[in-house]
Chain A
Amino acid sequence: QQQVKQSPQSLIVQKGGISIINCAYENTAFDYFPWYQQFPGKGPALLIAIRPDVSEKKEGRFTISFNKSAKQFSLHIMDSQPGDSATYFCAASRNAGNMLTFGGGTRLMVKP
């Protein structure tokens, strides 16, 4: 019940395209859903996060869509750029920001 399932495992998108990564969770006690971006050899860095009281949050080219009834949330990267090529992890936590449960990760490659 603590798992967060993420798909796809890998994604190839053309420059300028839309990248979509999906996550699903089971534990309804989760109340904070961040997305992290990780470049090779670096630690995960927070990209954008959402609380379950809103259905969408947008920051620049990055948007989280959240469906509380389906227990799913997704990351959309608009106008994807080669510099977006990285591994993306969704995560979830109870008590807003405490112990993070991570999804399995999506390796995104944006082709020029």
Chain B
Amino acid sequence: EPEVTQTPSHQVTQMGQEVILRCVPISNHLYFYWYRQILGQKVEFLVSFYNNEISEKSEIFDDQFSVERPDGSNFTLKIRSTKLEDSAMYFCASRFMETQYFGPGTRLLVL
């Protein structure tokens, strides 16, 4: 069964550094999403992406964040200058019909 994959599974970075989180959505899915989950809290929407542009974004998704689909398979989330509060699990999802399929996540720790 096709799955959403994410790399790396874990990332540790210093405050102020740039990080890029990578996702490979399920092929033939057209809608892509990033969510985050701070430890012990609920899953929060960050951004949705369709037809090579952002279709919706939350208040969390400020100028420090950007998304890109650099080729036909990858979907990336970049955080330009990480803050301590960016420490969270980041989930990528892709959608077919109504269903969003989530990847296993990247655990980001900002020191």
**A residues apposed to B, CB below 8 Å:** 32, 34, 36, 41-46, 49, 89, 91, 96-105
Contact = CB atoms under 8 A, between A and B. Distances in A.
B43 A89 contact: yes
Interface in B75-111: 91, 93, 95, 97-105
Contacts of B35: 100
Contact of B99 (A89, A97, A99, A102): A97
Interface residues of B, number: 25
Given A43-B103, A45-B102, A97 B97 contact: yes
Interface of B: 4, 31, 33, 35, 41-45, 48, 55-56, 58, 91, 93, 95, 97-105
A42 B5 CA distance: 11
A99 B103 contact: no
